[in-house]
Amino acid sequence: MLNFLKTHFGFDQFRPWQAEIIRHVIAQKDAFVLMPTGGGKSLCFQFPALKMPGVTLVISPLIALMKDQVDALQANGIPAAFINSTLTRAEIDQIQTDALKGRIKILYAAPERLILPEFQLFLKQITVSLLAIDEAHCISEWGHDFRPEYRNLKMLRNLFPHVPALALTATATQKVREDIIGQLNLEKAKIFISSFNRPNLTYAVLPQKNSYGQLINIFRDHPDQAAIVYCFSRKDTESLAEQLCEEGFKALPYHAGLESETRRTNQEKFIRDEVQIIVATIAFGMGIDKPDVRLVIHYHLPKSIEGYYQETGRAGRDGLPSDCILFYSYADTMKQQFFIRQIENERLRQNASQKLDQMVQYCELATCRRSHLLAYFGEDHQPEICGGCDICLSPPEEIDATIITQKIMSAMVRTGQRFGTNYVIDLLLGAKNKKIIEREHHKLSVYGIVDDFSKEDLRFITSQLLSRGLITKNGDGYPGLQLSPRGHDFLKQREAIHLRKLKSITKLSHPSGAVEDGYDRELFEKLRLLRKTIADDQEVPPFVVFGDLALRQMALYLPQSAENFSRISGVGEAKLKQYGATFTEAIQTYAQENNLPEKKVPVKKSATPRRPQALGSTHLETQKLVQKKMSVAEIASQRGLTCATIAAHLEKLVSAGAQIDLGYLRPSDENFAKIKAAFEKSGGMSLSPVQKMLGEQFSYEELRLARLFLKD
C-alpha cells in the first residue's frame, strides 16, 4: 500500500485512519468518515478507486471543487473526469464514452444530475464499484449547510443497492451524524471518526476595536500569503475588498449576488495565485481545494461553531502553520439575533439561536479555544493548554477584579436580577439609555460608578464570571443575569478574585523546529515563480503542480538527482516524469551560483509540523504552589482559577518534564484501583467513557489526576 501511495500520489505515509478506511472500502463495505478539512478525506476514495474494477462515482456539491480535484488527479496520471453544467453536450458525450470504454476510474458529478433520466441510464451502463458522497452533512437539515438536492442521494442508493457507499464530511455533530446515516441507509456502515484537532492551525479572537487597522497589520505580517476574509453581508465584502486594494493589497470580493462569470473569474484568480485575498460571504470556500491558504479571517461573527470550524478548516490544508482570526463585538451578536427573529419556524429559530449562543460563548472564552472546539465535537483534548491559540500562546494578564466584580453583582441585585449583560453594563457606565431612565435606574447608586473599564472590558469580565459559575443566565430569548448560590456567598463574604484582562493581538508567532524551517527563502520564491509559469501554461492552479510543502523541502534539501527529488513529499511517478528535470535543473543552477551543497532527502517525512509545548508563567505559578503541597482546590482558590484549569496545568507540567512531586495528590489505593480498572476496560486514555462508566463517584478533575499516575 505504501509503494502504491508513493507511486500514484507521491506520499510516503498515510495520515491517521486513511489506511484503515481504504482497506475497509476495498473490502466492499459501507463506511461513514468524519475527518477534518485537510485530514485527507479525498484519498479515502481515490486510492480504492484505482484498486477496484469499474468506476468510482463521487458526488460533490460544487463545480470548482470537482475541477480542482480532477486537475490534481490528472497531474498524478490518474484517469478522472467530471460531468457538470460547465460542459457542452459534446464534452459530456465524450466523457461518457470514455467511461463506457473503461478509460475513466473516478467520475465526479453534482447531486442535481442524479435526477436526470439520461444520467441514470448512463450509470446503469457502466460498472459503478463505489459511491463516494463528499460533504455528506449537506443532506441533513440539522447541519449548517443543508442542501435539499442532496436528498436525491436516496435514489442513488436504491439504484445501486449492492455497491458500497462511503459518506465523508469534515464537520458534524452527533445529531447530524445520525441524520446522515439514516438518510443514506448507512446503518451497517463502519464509522471512522478522526481527531478534529488541526495542530497546524492557530486560533485567535480579537476585539472588534479598530478592526480595519488590525487587519492591515495582519496582512503586512503575512506578505504574499493567500487569505480568505469572511464578512457578514455582500456590501461589506465589496467595500472591504476595495479598501484593501487602496492599501496596495490584491483583493477581490465574492458573494452570491455577483454575476456568475465575475464570481468564477474572482475565484479562479485566487486559486491561481493572481490575487492574494478573497473577501467573501460564507458562499465562498466549500468548493475550494486550495491547500496553501495561510489566513482565514472572520471579520464578523459566524452563525455557528460548525460553520466557523469548517471555514477555518480552509486554512493550512497542506499541514503548514496557518492562522485563524476572528474579530468579535457584541454588536455583531445583536445583528445576527435580529435576523434569527425573522425565522418563522419556531424549531429552526430556536436551533439558530442556540448555535449563535454557542458561538458567542467561544468568542468570550478565557480558556483554551482549541479544547473548547474539540469538546464541542465530543473530543477530549489533552493537554488543555494547546500552545496554538491566542490564550495559550500569550496568556492574558491577570488583574485584581474584586471591586469590579462586586460592582457588577451589585448592579444585578439592585435591578432585580432581571436584565441582560448589555443593560447591566450600560447602567454601570452611566449610559443615557432610554429604558434605564424610564425605569428610574439612573437614580440607583450603581449608575455610572465605573469609569476605569470599557464596555468590551466589562463584557469580558462578565463572561468569566459566567464561566466561573458566580453568575448565571435565566430565561430564553433575552436572558437576564442572576447570582448563583456561589455568587451570593462570594458577595456576602467579600471574597477576592483575579480575572484575565482583555487584550489585542495583531501578530501570532509560530514556533520553529519543523522539518521545513531553515529552507532557502530566495530559492523558494524562484521555485514558486517556476511553478506558476508551468501552471499557467497547463491552465491549472499552481498547487496542482506542487504544494508549498514540496517547494519548501526542495528549498531545504536542494535535490538535484531524480532519485533524491523523488523523495520530496508529493512527488509520485507521474510528477517525477513530468516536472522532475525542470525543477532539478533550476535547483542545480541556484546551488552552483550560491555554492550550496545538495542534501539527502529523508525517506520518511511528516506533513504536519508539531508545535513544541512550552511552559508559560501561569504553569510555573501553579508549579510553585504544588511544591508547597497544596491541594488542587486550594491552588484554584488562591489563583482564582477553576480546578479543571489547575488539573490541565499539572498535565502540562508533567508532559514538559517539570521536576515536581505529585505523589501527595494520588488517589487512595481503593479509588485508584477503581479508576485504573475503568480505564483498562475502556481500552484507551479518554476521560469521557471512564466517567460514564463510573458515574458520579469521581469528578472529572479526579479522573484527570489519576490518569497522570496511570501514565507513569
pLDDT value of residue 612? 37
- The alpha carbon torsion through 565, 568, 573, 578 (nearest 10 deg) reads -60
Rounded mean pLDDT of the chain? Answer: 85
CATH number 3.40.50.300 given to 2-193: yes
pLDDT value of residue 268? 87
Give the range with max mean pLDDT: 42-56, 57-71, 364-378. Answer: 42-56
pLDDT value of residue 614? 46
* Sign of CA pseudo-dihedral 562, 565, 566, 571: negative
Residue 457 CB neighbour total at 10 angstroms: 17
Domain map of the chain by residue range?
A: 2-193, 201-393, 398-500, 521-593, 666-712
Q: How far apart are CA 428 and CA 425, in angstroms?
A: 5
pLDDT value of residue 476? 53
Q: How far apart are CA 73 and CA 66, in angstroms?
A: 11
**692 pLDDT exceeds 50?**
yes
Over residues 495-552, the pLDDT tens digits come to: 899 887 766 554 455 544 444 567 898 999 999 999 999 999 998 889 999 999 999 9
pLDDT value of residue 593? 93
Q: How far apart are CA 568 and CA 602, in angstroms?
A: 8
If residue 158 lies in a helix (H) or strand (E), which one and from where to where? helix 153-159
pLDDT value of residue 610? 37
CATH number 1.10.10.10 given to 398-500: yes
Specify the CATH class of 521-593 in words. Answer: mainly alpha
Over residues 333-347, the pLDDT tens digits come to: 888 888 888 888 888
Residue spans of alpha helices (H) in 247-329? 260-271, 305-312
- Min mean pLDDT across 53-62, 187-196, 682-691 is at 682-691
pLDDT value of residue 689? 64
The CA-based angle 631-632-636, given to 5 degrees, is 120
pLDDT value of residue 285? 56
- Nearest residue to 141 via CA among 115, 165, 188, 173: 173
Q: How confident is the model at residue 588 (pLDDT cuts 50, 70, 90)?
A: very high
- Min mean pLDDT across 131-140, 212-221, 531-540, 597-606 is at 597-606
Q: How far apart are CA 453 and CA 430, in angstroms?
A: 12
- Min mean pLDDT across 254-268, 414-428, 600-614, 661-675 is at 600-614
pLDDT value of residue 143? 60
pLDDT value of residue 665? 87
Residue 571 in contact with residue 580, Cβ under 8 Å?
A: yes
pLDDT value of residue 44? 95
pLDDT value of residue 315? 92
Q: How far apart are CA 307 and CA 285, in angstroms?
A: 11
**360 pLDDT exceeds 90?**
no
**Mean pLDDT in residue range 613-629:** 73
Sequence-separated (6 or more) residues with CB below 8 Å from residue 100: 125, 126
For residue 192, list its beta bridge partners: 33
**296 pLDDT exceeds 90?**
yes
Q: Please give the backbone phi and psi of residue 478, each rounded to the nearest 5 degrees, phi first.
A: -120, 75
Q: How far apart are CA 684 and CA 686, in angstroms?
A: 6
Over residues 157-211, the pLDDT tens digits come to: 888 889 999 999 887 677 888 888 888 888 888 988 888 888 889 999 988 878 8
Q: Which three cell numbers stand for residue 481?
A: 443575569
Q: How confident is the model at residue 608 (pLDDT cuts 50, 70, 90)?
A: very low
Q: How far apart are CA 119 and CA 491, in angstroms?
A: 70
How many angstroms separate the first and last alpha carbons of the chain?
A: 36
Sequence-separated (6 or more) residues with CB below 8 Å from residue 588: 560
The cell 478573497 sits on which residue?
278
CA Rg value for the chain: 28
Q: How far apart are CA 37 and CA 13, in angstroms?
A: 18
Q: How confident is the model at residue 406 (pLDDT cuts 50, 70, 90)?
A: very high
Q: How confident is the model at residue 286 (pLDDT cuts 50, 70, 90)?
A: low
- Min mean pLDDT across 152-161, 521-530, 556-565 is at 152-161
Pick the CATH number of 201-393 from 3.90.850.10, 3.40.50.300, 3.40.50.620, 3.40.640.10: 3.40.50.300
Q: Which three cell numbers stand for residue 85?
A: 453544467
pLDDT over 70, % of the chain: 89
Residue 337 to residues 91, 282, 309, 331: CA-CA distances in angstroms?
Answer: 47, 18, 20, 10
Residue 142 in contact with residue 176, Cβ under 8 Å?
A: yes
DSSP 8-state secondary structure symbol assigned to residue 711: H
Residue 323 in contact with residue 255, Cβ under 8 Å?
A: no
pLDDT value of residue 609? 36
pLDDT value of residue 655? 64
Q: How far apart are CA 213 and CA 183, in angstroms?
A: 47
Q: How confident is the model at residue 413 (pLDDT cuts 50, 70, 90)?
A: very high
pLDDT value of residue 125? 93
Over residues 250-278, the pLDDT tens digits come to: 999 998 888 888 988 998 899 899 999 99
pLDDT value of residue 554? 95
pLDDT value of residue 613? 42
pLDDT value of residue 687? 65
**711 pLDDT exceeds 70?**
no
For residue 203, list its beta bridge partners: 324, 389
**46 pLDDT exceeds 90?**
yes
Give the burial class of 31: count Cβ atoms within 10 A of its Cβ; 0-12 exposed, 13-18 middle, 19 or more buried.
buried
Same fold yes or no, 398-500 and 521-593: no
pLDDT value of residue 438? 92
Over residues 307-323, the pLDDT tens digits come to: 898 889 889 988 889 99
Over residues 424-475, the pLDDT tens digits come to: 999 999 998 889 999 999 999 999 999 989 888 898 888 888 877 888 887 6
For residue 389, list its beta bridge partners: 203
Q: How confident is the model at residue 611 (pLDDT cuts 50, 70, 90)?
A: very low
